[in-house]
């Protein structure tokens, strides 16, 4: 490798590391949809027998009480002596907090 080629290689590696360092906080600010669904199921399984679940993979922005949140929407199916019940939820992508849980 020539001196010029080595300089380009080192510059490219340095640029890649710098970009990763700058973008890391942006990319890691939100939990994955899979982790969010796992968290919802763990929380709800303390009260409900969960038989099915789903989550949207693309977050959306909502406003609650004049505060803006990026959320995942999803749902769970539960069973009890009364039968099957469906619930829909929204969960904050940053904190994992369940913002809404509505029987549907």
How far apart are alpha carbons 92 and 30 in whole angstroms? 8
pLDDT digits (tens, 9 = 90+) for 61-94: 999 899 999 999 999 999 988 899 999 999 999 9
For position 98, what pLDDT does the model report? 93
pLDDT digits (tens, 9 = 90+) for 3-36: 665 566 565 555 566 555 555 554 457 899 999 9
For position 40, what pLDDT does the model report? 93
DSSP at 29? S
How far apart are alpha carbons 59 and 33 in whole angstroms? 8
Query: Burial, 74: exposed, middle or buried (Cβ in 10 Å; 0-12, 13-18, 19+)?
Result: buried
For position 96, what pLDDT does the model report? 92
For position 29, what pLDDT does the model report? 77
Going by C-alpha positions, the residue among 46, 90, 85, 50 that lies closest to residue 70 is 90
Determine if the pTM surpasses 0.95: no
How far apart are alpha carbons 33 and 21 in whole angstroms? 23
How many other CB atoms are there within 10 angstroms of residue 78's CB atom? 19
Which has more pLDDT, 16 or 59?
Answer: 59
């Amino acid at each position: 490798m020539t001196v010029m080629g080595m300089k380009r290689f080192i510059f490219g590696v340095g640029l890649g590391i710098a970009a990763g360092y700058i973008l890391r906080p942006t990319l890691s600010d939100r939990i994955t949809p899979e982790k969010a669904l796992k968290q919802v199921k763990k929380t709800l399984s303390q009260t409900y027998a969960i038989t099915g679940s789903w989550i949207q993979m693309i977050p959306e922005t909502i406003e609650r009480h004049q505060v803006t949140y990026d959320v995942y929407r999803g749902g769970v199916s539960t069973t009890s002596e009364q039968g099957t019940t469906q619930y829909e939820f929204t969960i904050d992508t940053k904190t994992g907090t369940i913002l809404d849980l509505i029987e549907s």
